[in-house]
Structure 1
């Protein structure tokens, strides 16, 4: 009897301890991890204008003529713009910066601010809901506003335009010089693209009509923006990331996450482009053509197919960003139309020393550095390039302060790994 009583007391104490422990953690289900199952559909819903690229592995090579056999690299999942950044999208960035400069540096009107308590103006936030009702402010016809914005405005031909020396974007980033030095810095970049870049790139051609209309006229809204330097493209990516996280993620599954937004690394770019064409037509040195020939696939890509043959693909210059057929990931014009800036510094031997997981070669050159240190990788070929440049492995470069009429860009945002069939919990 005594033994049974002791046993009952012992069991009661154990149960009390167990109930107490479970009760403290029941809200979190601390020890009830669910079984892993593959995500239906295999991809996350992308933010507007982007597509989801799942994690994967590719063969990453150096220059095609270097004899480098390359190495296998793996990439985490990411989102990438389904199209090149358009004139309309980039104009939204320019107008946002111009509105910011107009309000803070020239108008200084309390009606455009949310906080007006600070005497020195520090810490005041712009009331963007009110600003957007009259944006872009620099195009206002109000004589009082026009007079105050004088230094912001210049003339180009017969029209008003923004002064590129005044309209600048300020942002902070981690400045990296290889493995030597890393520090957070604040940079200021002018945001206006070089509108007469067409005549500058082709000085003996009659392209003044494109100079005057390509960036500003609504008929070119959905064409890829050009005349943008690598530093300007990086500024746009920073702004777009902040805008997206502030305006689009509040009620989405991405809410609460810290996600990076940037130009694509060249490895990300290559991986995203891998499905663009039949692999048999992307071997280095193969002839790419839009003509139907025996044994050749008929391709639809905007590029120069021979000396003086710009128009055989249906356009002499750029085409709207959703022209032709998207690749296997749903991405448009990863080959041709405009070549694209990537995040990486250019080195012919980069593949030899970058990591085999999410590789990137970062080097933010100082202004006094030689141009060789300012070279950034461009990928994809363009409307003015030949067929060999369309290969997804072909690497080119331009210095970070030089714009071109044949170079544009697109953006990427980090994403998450999804459980796949390989990791799904199985019954044994």
Structure 2
């Protein structure tokens, strides 16, 4: 027993002496105290056009009796962490930048395609040293919109079509498709989905079956032989990190016909034709966008920002749609408030609405506008 204790003490002493010799300089600098390592600092930039919604507390739901049945509406008490949110709705100008980016990516692909322009400089397939890399578009090379060659003009015109009746030249919405991938970090972190079977349980008393087949579901999409987008959620055995990579393919052009489909007999033909494309409506909120298109816009906005930030991009959090609770928290401003402003009135003293409302029949132009 004495020999065993002596051996252990000898090992500890030797290890302590070795570490003190190797790190004595650093220990003297901080007085021998554990002060924590100094990681690289990073100040989160204020996202363009966004405001910070500070963390707080919210009672979700209306705190008053139901006007029809007289029953009390249930509420939930929730604490909300801080987040950034767009100061206004996504505008036509912002969403049109997304649409034009998709258009330009298709044009660059075709300018590099031998069947169209055949200009290989629009696509990068080797690095500066001549080594092969994953093919990607060369965004540094400008598209020759003004003085294209005959082949280049065919590539440029391929994303447009001419209306057979009135001769209007417009973007071919069917071709404007955005493909993106999202890695599910949260699912990949779950123990039950660990690639190493030994890491799937913290209970070491239970043996782990190394041959266990773990099934995982993922979203995927492809374009079939008819040119239609097929979206599927597939389930298959877990085999690699690529099983957490979800693929989405989305038509990005908004449905401009909502102006006449949602408001029949309102004489909205001018808005159907001009609202999204005309510069006069640049700062108006984009309409006719589906949930899938909104998700695609968030993914593109994230990738676009990361491409412009270089090495700092690893600190960036992805853009996403707000949760229901975040939306209500931002809209109401404070716990117990029906609106984010003071008071319970929807109009100011001048008769202007504080926010977008859909009142009953009456004067929609009190705030100086009509359609938004």
TMscore range, shorter length: 0.5 to 0.7
Are positions 1:84 and 2:142 aligned together?
no
CA contact (8 A) 2:125 2:133 kept: no
Are positions 1:163 and 2:172 aligned together?
yes
Partner in structure 2 of residue 100 of structure 1: 105
- For residues 189-248 of structure 1, give each alpha carbon's deviation from its aligned partner in whole angstroms, at most 9, with x where no partner exists: 111111232112112111111111111111111111111111111100000011112214
Equivalent of 1:233, from 294, 314, 326?
294
- How far apart in 2 are the matches of 1:140 and 1:200? 40
CA contact (8 A) 1:110 1:116 kept: no
CA contact (8 A) 1:44 1:52 kept: no
CA contact (8 A) 1:86 1:225 kept: yes
Cα pair distance change 1:127/1:274, threshold 3 Å = same
**1:266 deviation in Å?**
1.4
Cα pair distance change 1:84/1:292, threshold 3 Å = closer
- How far apart in 2 are the matches of 1:104 and 1:278? 54
Are positions 1:18 and 2:20 aligned together?
yes
- How far apart in 2 are the matches of 1:310 and 1:142? 52
| Secondary structure, aligned partner of 1:193 | coil
**1:114 deviation in Å?**
2.4
- How far apart in 1 are the matches of 2:328 and 2:216? 28
- For residues 72-129 of structure 1, give each alpha carbon's deviation from its aligned partner in whole angstroms, at most 9, with x where no partner exists: 1122222211221111111111111111122225652312122259xxx992111112
Cα pair distance change 1:153/1:230, threshold 3 Å = same
Are positions 1:288 and 2:359 aligned together?
no
Q: CA RMSD in A?
A: 4.1
Partner in structure 2 of residue 211 of structure 1: 272
Cα pair distance change 1:276/1:250, threshold 3 Å = farther
Are positions 1:154 and 2:161 aligned together?
yes
Partner in structure 2 of residue 220 of structure 1: 281
- How far apart in 2 are the matches of 1:14 and 1:303? 71
- How far apart in 1 are the matches of 2:322 and 2:136? 31
Q: Which has the higher contact order (CA 8 A, sep 6+)?
A: 1
Matched positions, count: 280
Partner in structure 2 of residue 49 of structure 1: 49
- How far apart in 2 are the matches of 1:122 and 1:204? 56
Partner in structure 2 of residue 113 of structure 1: 123
TM-score normalised by L of structure 2: 0.63
Are positions 1:264 and 2:299 aligned together?
no
Cα pair distance change 1:94/1:282, threshold 3 Å = closer
Q: After superposition, where does 1:326-405 map in structure 2 within 5 Å? A: none
Which segment drifts farther, 108-117 or 17-26?
17-26
Cα pair distance change 1:191/1:89, threshold 3 Å = same
- How far apart in 2 are the matches of 1:129 and 1:30? 51
Q: Which structure has the larger Rg?
A: 2
| Secondary structure, aligned partner of 2:346 | coil
Are positions 1:145 and 2:152 aligned together?
yes
Partner in structure 2 of residue 183 of structure 1: 218
| Secondary structure, aligned partner of 2:181 | strand
> Mind listing any 5+ residue stretches in structure 2 that lack a counterpart?
1-14, 38-42, 114-118, 187-214, 221-246
Which segment drifts farther, 158-167 or 220-229?
158-167
Cα pair distance change 1:101/1:71, threshold 3 Å = same
Equivalent of 1:172, from 153, 169, 181?
181
> Mind listing any 5+ residue stretches in structure 1 that lack a counterpart?
1-12, 35-42, 319-428
TM-score normalised by L of structure 1: 0.55
Equivalent of 1:279, from 337, 351, 358?
337
- For residues 323-342 of structure 1, give each alpha carbon's deviation from its aligned partner in whole angstroms, at most 9, with x where no partner exists: xxxxxxxxxxxxxxxxxxxx
